[in-house]
Amino acid sequence: MSMKIDLGRVYGPSEDVVVREIEGEIVIVPLVSGIGDLEDELFTLNETGRAIWSRIDGRRPLAAVVRELAGEYNAPDGIIQEDVVGLLQELLDRRMIVDRG
């Protein structure tokens, strides 16, 4: 049963992956086994994912990240929240981020 993303909690990159920025792409490289389905699989984020990723620093609750992005993109909190929760849920399901409390 996968855990659900909670806006009140703090999330940060997992030590099970190495996250690299190469040529403007965020590349997520599994470090331990069981992250990808295939032996040579790497992961990248789409444009929306990239914009959110840089703020997932393991220090602020997610709600603060949503507010910051809403201000920056001049968009309603609800739309931003949908993307932030969507991305983090994918990352959490893949063990690429961890709940830091």
Partner 1 sequence: MTGPGKPYVRKVPSGRDGMWASAGPPLARLDIELTERCNNDCVHCSVNLPAGDAAARAREWPAASWKGLLGEAAELGCLVVRLTGGEPLVREDFEEIYLHARRLGMRVMLFTNATLVTERLARLFRDVPPLEAVEVSVYGMAAETYEAVTRAPGSFAAFRRGLGLLGDQGVPFVVKGAVLPSTRREMDELEAWSARITGSPARPSSAMLFDLRSRRDGAKNPLIAGLRIGGDEFVRIARRHGEAAVDEWRDFCARSGGPRGDRLFTCLASGGSASVDPYGRLQYCLGLRHPDTVTDLAAGSLREAVTGFLPRVRAMRSTNPAYLERCGRCFLKGLCEQCPAKSWAEYGTLDTPVEYFCGVAHAQAIAAGLLEPGEKAWAVVDGKERVERVERRRGS
CB 48 within 8 A of CB 30: no
Amino acid (one-letter) located at 21 = E
Of 51, 63, 77, 98, the one binding partner 1 by CB under 8 A: 51
Nearer Cβ to partner 1, position 2 or 37?
37
Amino acid (one-letter) located at 89 = Q
Paired with 61 in beta bridges are: 10
CB 8 within 8 A of CB 63: yes
48 lies in the site for partner 1, by CB under 8 A: yes
- Find the Cα–Cα–Cα–Cα dihedral 51, 67, 19, 99, rounded to 10°: -150
Nearer Cβ to partner 1, position 10 or 13?
13
Binding to partner 1 by CB under 8 A, coded x per residue (else -) over 4-33, reads --------------xxx-xxxx-xxxxxxx
Which residues of this chain interact with partner 1, rule CB under 8 A? 18-20, 22-25, 27-33, 36-49, 51-52, 69, 73, 75, 79-80, 82-83, 86-87, 90-91, 94, 96
